[in-house]
Structure 1
Amino acid sequence: MKSNSASPASSIGYGKGVALCLSATVLMGAMFPVMTDALARVDPFTFTSLRYLIAGIAFAMLLRHREGAGAFTADGHSLVVAWLLGSVGFCGFGSFVFLGQQLAGPDGALDASIMMATQPMMGLLLSSWLRRSAPPVLSLVFVALSFSGVSLVITRGDLLAAIHGPQHYAASGLIVLGAFCWVIYTFGSMRFARWSALKYTTMTTWLGLTTIVTVNAVLIAVHAVHAPTLSTLYSIAPHLLYMGPVAGFGAILFWVSGNRILGPMNGVLFMDVVPITAFVVSALTGFVPVPAQIAGAALTAVALVMNNVYLRRRALRMAMPPRPVQPAAASGGQ
């Protein structure tokens, strides 16, 4: 008879997935306050190029050590699709999110971090689109609540001031676009079943780097951004030490590995941790969020948790076998 309880192995595997995703989002949350100072010294495109070059070298060395030289082959998967996902995930996320954070100014770290918490809702909509089925109505209600919380954060509770500041919308729009890029990258991992989490991360990082460096070079050539000087590189070295090896190499590897275990729909829920970490780090560095921002972050978190609980219960109800039909009572009595 099949037991309904989870096996120790499956429980350990689930716990490992939770630990990986939680560790990844804590490390990701701290990167936004770190970037506040870095973006005052260098443009986001140059920083993204340098960050992923550092992370890419670490990924390649680890993949070569663990899986050998043959690990760098396609193994039946499309390198074009891998390049597209790497470009969207790394170039799209790094460029759009950090450009938006730079445009938002000193408050951009909190704005960007709370936008990351909308990714579970984006994942729900993307999953529904891929399956060609409408999301549940109650989930759409939670989507509306989530974005209401985001609006409180980005407007600081002052809607009239936001109306007179259209540049704020541009910054927020870029951050949301970058967040959606990361959702696409996360879901794309499931298309590469024959690649390990490390291989998927390594291959997409290096393929995406071709896009990142090309965009950066074009922007420098047309004088849209300045080529970094040695003094600039020296000034951002501490930021790169965190953003490359820690938030780039460690966090992304943990993220992809955890999502392979839990699945992207469950994994992206952990992006709720990002704004919490960013709020704590920002407060420790002297920037305390206003009450409206705290309320908005809480509303977004509650909406996301309620949506996840609802979807889990709904999935369990749908998976339950139908109740057997009771035979009709015999006529004529006993």
Structure 2
Amino acid sequence: MPNTYMTGIALCAVAAISWGISFPVMGEALAAIDPFNFTAMRYSAAAIIFVVLLISKEGIQALNLKAERFMLAWLLGSSGFCGYGFFIFHGQQLAGKSGALSASVMIATTPMLTQLLNWVLRGSRPSATSFGCIVMSFVGVMLVLTKGNPAALMAQSITFESTAFLLLGAVSWAFYTLGSSFFPTWSAYRYTAITTLLGLITILISNEALIALSFNSRPHMETVISILPHLFYMVLIAGVLAVLCWNMGNKIISPVNGVLFLDIVPLTAFITTAVTGTPINSGQLLGALLVGTSLLINNLYRRKWNSCFKIRWERS
């Protein structure tokens, strides 16, 4: 059904654009608050909204997991919300002023990371073409992270640390996106609400542990008030709207096709940061182009391969 497929495309595009804007928004918020307390506040509010939406759509019985994959749902929620929220935004904070661009481009490698995870989890090995695209994608990421000068990576120890956290965040989201295929009977509302609620448990426990270990501290009320506009966007737009659209869209067009729309994330972040005055050099533009090109080639290749496989299967 073309209309249904187009709806899936539109939903994934809305999510990607929302996330692209979220990185510059978070860049401002991270100047005042740490990513751990922010993530705890963000998903505490989002989880409540998701649960209310689920109950209104499917009734309170939808929260009953019965004998279903409780541990897997908890693991996916912890990866998608605690792992992503902590790692990607901590990496963005470490990256400094250019962190919004670095984080958004790293997220654009999620389609490649999804293939690697699919290989690990399901034994579906990527082709040589896919491997080539993966290499091209990471070259592009390095150009953005180093502002077009990869040799500078060796002279900046902070780059290694920030890149590691950004990569962990991207892997966490790739795992969460791929994980939706393990719950084919769940609606997007149910998958979103339950994984968010379970992931919130991990977020709160982890944040309290960081505070207890003196790695972090509770924010002052003045700080919380100062970042309320940012929190508003990250909860309602980049959180509730984007995550729900993402899961609904991937239900329609499948995670393998859906993750391609994360290419829109760095493009949106580049436009937003350029408008707000952050300079972008030619090396970073080249890097973003390499990432987008590699993902496009890989997606076209996969679609052609799947089409040929379907024809051979129908003829057999």
TM-score (norm 1): 0.92
| Larger mean Cα displacement after TM superposition, 69-78 or 141-150 | 69-78
Identity of aligned residues (%): 44
CA apart distance, 1:222: 1.9
Which runs of structure 1 show a deviation greater than 4 angstroms over 4 or more consecutive aligned residues? none
Name the one with the larger helix percent.
2
Aligned to 2:276: 285
- Which residue does 1:305 correspond to in 2? 296
Equivalent in the alignment of 2:37? 46
Is 2:222 the partner of 1:223? no
Listed as ranges, the matches of 1:200-219 within 5 Å are 200-219=191-210
Q: State the alpha-carbon separation in 2 of the partners of residues 323 and 215 from structure 1.
A: 50
Q: Where in structure 2 are the equivalents of 1:129-140 lying within 5 Å?
A: 129-140=120-131
1:331 alignment counterpart: none
Deviations 1:229-262 (A, max 9, x none): 1101101101000000110100000001101111
Letter in 2 for 1:23: V
CA RMSD of aligned residues (A): 1.5
Is residue 122 from structure 1 mapped to residue 113 from structure 2 by the alignment? yes
Is the partner of 1:82 in helix, strand or coil? helix
**What does residue range 155-194 of structure 1 map to in structure 2 within 5 Å?**
155-194=146-185
Q: Which residue identity lines up with residue 22 of structure 1 in the other structure?
A: A
| Alpha-carbon distance, 1:323 to partner | 11
**Corresponding residue SS for 2:312:** coil
Question: What is the rounded CA distance, in whole Å, between the counterparts of 1:266 and 1:138 in structure 2?
Answer: 17
Q: What corresponds to 2:10 in structure 1?
A: 19
Amino acid aligned to 2:159:
H
- Contact (CA 8 Å) 1:75, 1:194: kept in 2 or not? no
Flag the 1:54–1:315 CA change in 2: closer, same or farther, 3 A: same
Structure 1 letter corresponding to 2:173: W
Residue in 1 that maps onto 2:28: 37
Q: Pick the aligned partner of 1:154 from 126, 145, 162.
A: 145
Unaligned residue ranges in structure 1 (runs of 5+): 1-9, 325-334
* AA aligned opposite 2:64: T
Give the alignment partner of residue 145 of structure 1, picking from 132, 136, 140: 136
Deviation at 1:57, TM superposition (A): 1.1
TM-score by length of 2: 0.97
CA deviation after TM superposition for structure 1 residue 226, in Å: 1.5
User: 1:63 touches 1:199 (CA, 8 Å); kept in 2?
Assistant: yes
Question: Which has the greater radius of gyration?
Answer: 1
The whole-number CA distance in structure 2 between the counterparts of 1:78 and 1:159 is 44
Matched AA of 1:45:
F
1:256 to 238, 247, 250: 247
Equivalent residues of 1:77, 1:192 under 8 A apart? no
1:195 aligned counterpart, secondary structure: coil
One-letter code of the match for 2:277? G
Deviation, 1:161, is 2.0
**268-277 or 134-143: which moved more?**
134-143
| Alpha carbons of structure 1 residues 285 and 76: separation in structure 2 relative to 1, 3 Å | same
* 1:88 aligns to 2:79 (yes or no): yes
* Secondary structure in structure 2 of the residue aligned to 1:226: coil
Give the equivalent residue in structure 2 for 1:330.
Answer: none
The number of residue pairs the alignment matches comes to: 316
Unaligned runs of 5+ in 2: none
The 3-state SS of whatever aligns with 1:227 is coil
